[in-house]
C-alpha cells in the first residue's frame, strides 16, 4: 500500500497505555466533546478569551458572552478536559490553549466543524444502517432524496451553506495551480464534469479569452450554475449540459471535440463500479490528443497527517449522508479503476492547495 512519509504514524503504535486509554475516553465522549467545543466557539467564549489580557474568570466570561454563570462554568470545565482552554489555579482565570486557538482561527477547522454540525451530526446516528444497507440512511435528517446531490439546491439553509463552504474551501485553494497545469495543454474546448456552480468554469474563461467551457452536471445544478455565473465576464463562453451520470446509458456530449475533460472532486461521489462506468463513457469522447484531468484528494498522498485524517473521516460522510457507496479514495485503488476503463495515467501532480492531486490521463 502506498503511504506518504507523513503517514508512517499509521504503521506502528504511537501511544503509551495511559495515552491510549485517554484517547479511548475522548472517543467515547466524542459527540459531547464536539458540541461543547462548538459552543465554546459559537457563544463567543473563545473570542472573549482571546481578547482579554490575562484571561477571564467564569463570572467575567458569563458576563462578556451573555450566558449564565452555570453555562460558562460547565463549558469552560469541559474545555479544560478537551485541552482547548487552560486555567491559572492562582487567579482562576481561563485562557485559550493552542488547540482552542486553532478552533477559533484555522479556516479548515471552522469549515469542517460547521459541515459536521449542520450536514452530518444528526444523520450519523444512522451510520450503521448506511454501512449495512449501502444507502445514505442519515440523509433523511435533511430531506427526502436518494442522494444528497439531488437535494443540494434545496437543502435547509444552514446545511446548504455549510456544504458549499466545505466543497469550495477544498477546491478553491487548488484552482490557481490547477489552471497552470490544465492550460499548459492550450485547450480550446473544455468539458467540466460535475462543474457545480461554475466556479472553475469562470476561472477558465477569465484565464483564457478564447476557451469555451461546457459544464455537465445534474439538471438542478445547471440551473444554479446559470444563476451564479450570470453577468460574470466570459459567462457567454460557458454552456450547460444536464445529465445524470448514474444512469449507465447517459452519455457525455460527443459533438464538441473537447481538448480537456476536467473532473474536480467529482469521481469521489461514486462507487468503484460507477467510476469505471463514467470513465468508460468519458474515454468514448476522448481523442488520442485529448486529456482527462482528474483532481482528487487521495488520503494516502497527503503531506500532513491531519489532512489524511480529514479525508478518511469524510469518507463516512459519503456513506451516511451523500450516497452510501462512495469515498475518498486511496490513489492505488483509483489508478486501478482508471486503467480498467481503458485510460492510462500520463502524469501525477501532487500537493496542490489543501492536498489535491491531479491525474493527467489519456487513451491507452
Ligand X SMILES: C[S@@+](CC[C@H](N)C(=O)[O-])C[C@H]1O[C@@H](n2cnc3c(N)ncnc32)[C@H](O)[C@@H]1O
| Residue ranges binding ligand X (CB under 6 A) | 149, 152, 167, 171, 194-196, 217-218, 221, 243-246, 264-266, 269
Nearest distance, CB of residue 215 and ligand X, angstroms: 9
Judged by beta carbon, residue 55 or residue 240, the one nearer ligand X is 240
Q: Are strands 93-96 and 85-88 parallel, antiparallel or unpaired?
A: antiparallel
Judged by beta carbon, residue 104 or residue 295, the one nearer ligand X is 295
In the chain the first and final C-alpha atoms are separated, in Å, by: 24
Judged by beta carbon, residue 84 or residue 269, the one nearer ligand X is 269
Picking from 284, 223, 224, 225, the residue whose alpha carbon sits closest to that of residue 254 is 284
Judged by beta carbon, residue 217 or residue 259, the one nearer ligand X is 217
Nearest distance, CB of residue 329 and ligand X, angstroms: 14
Judged by beta carbon, residue 48 or residue 296, the one nearer ligand X is 296
Query: Residue for cell digits 493552542?
Result: 98
CA distance 156 to 235: 28
Nearest distance, CB of residue 290 and ligand X, angstroms: 19
Picking from 144, 87, 142, 91, the residue whose alpha carbon sits closest to that of residue 119 is 142
Residues 6+ apart with CB under 8 A from 296: 265, 267, 268, 328, 329, 334, 356, 357, 359
Give the DSSP letter of residue 251: -
Dmax (CA) for the chain in angstroms is 75
Nearest distance, CB of residue 195 and ligand X, angstroms: 6
Nearest distance, CB of residue 193 and ligand X, angstroms: 7
Amino acid at each position: 500500500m502506498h503511504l506518504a512519509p507523513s503517514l508512517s504514524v499509521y504503521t506502528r503504535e504511537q501511544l503509551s497505555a495511559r495515552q491510549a486509554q485517554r484517547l479511548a475516553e475522548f472517543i467515547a465522549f466524542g459527540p459531547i466533546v464536539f458540541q461543547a467545543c462548538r459552543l465554546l466557539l459559537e457563544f463567543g467564549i473563545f473570542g472573549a478569551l482571546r481578547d482579554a489580557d490575562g484571561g477571564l474568570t467564569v463570572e467575567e466570561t458569563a458576563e462578556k458572552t451573555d450566558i449564565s454563570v452555570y453555562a460558562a462554568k460547565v463549558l469552560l470545565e469541559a474545555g479544560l478536559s478537551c485541552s482547548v482552554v487552560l486555567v491559572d489555579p492562582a487567579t482562576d482565570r481561563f485562557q485559550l490553549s493552542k488547540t482552542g486557538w486553532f478552533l477559533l482561527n484555522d479556516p479548515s477547522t471552522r469549515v469542517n466543524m460547521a459541515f459536521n454540525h449542520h450536514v452530518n451530526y444528526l444523520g450519523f446516528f444512522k451510520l450503521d444502517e448506511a454501512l449495512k444497507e449501502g444507502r445514505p440512511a442519515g440523509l433523511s435528517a435533511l430531506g427526502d432524496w436518494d442522494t444528497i446531490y439531488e437535494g443540494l439546491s434545496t437543502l435547509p439553509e444552514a446545511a446548504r451553506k455549510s456544504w458549499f463552504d466545505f466543497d469550495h474551501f477544498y477546491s478553491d485553494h487548488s484552482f490557481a495551480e490547477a489552471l497552470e497545469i490544465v492550460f499548459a495543454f492550450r485547450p480550446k474546448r473544455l468539458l467540466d464534469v460535475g462543474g457545480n456552480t461554475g466556479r472553475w468554469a469562470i476561472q477558465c474563461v477569465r484565464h483564457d479569452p478564447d476557451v469555451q467551457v461546457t459544464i455537465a452536471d445534474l439538471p438542478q445544478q445547471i440551473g444554479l450554475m446559470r444563476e451564479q455565473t450570470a453577468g460574470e465576464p466570459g459567462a457567454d463562453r460557458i454552456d450547460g449540459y444536464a445529465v445524470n451520470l448514474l444512469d449507465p446509458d447517459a452519455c457525455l456530449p460527443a459533438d464538441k471535440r473537447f481538448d480537456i475533460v476536467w473532473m474536480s472532486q467529482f469521481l469521489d461521489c461514486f462507487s468503484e463500479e460507477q467510476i469505471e462506468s463514467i470513465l468508460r463513457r468519458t474515454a468514448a469522447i476522448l481523442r488520442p490528443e485529448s486529456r482527462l484531468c482528474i483532481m482528487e484528494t487521495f488520503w494516502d498522498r497527503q503531506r500532513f497527517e491531519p489532512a489524511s485524517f480529514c479525508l478518511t473521516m469524510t469518507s463516512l460522510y459519503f456513506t451516511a449522508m451523500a450516497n452510501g457507496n462512495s469515498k475518498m479514495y486511496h490513489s492505488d485503488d483509483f489508478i486501478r479503476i482508471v486503467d480498467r476503463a481503458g485510460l492510462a495515467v500520463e502524469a501525477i501532480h501532487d500537493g496542490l492547495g489543501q492536498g489535491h492531486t491531479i491525474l493527467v490521463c489519456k487513451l491507452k
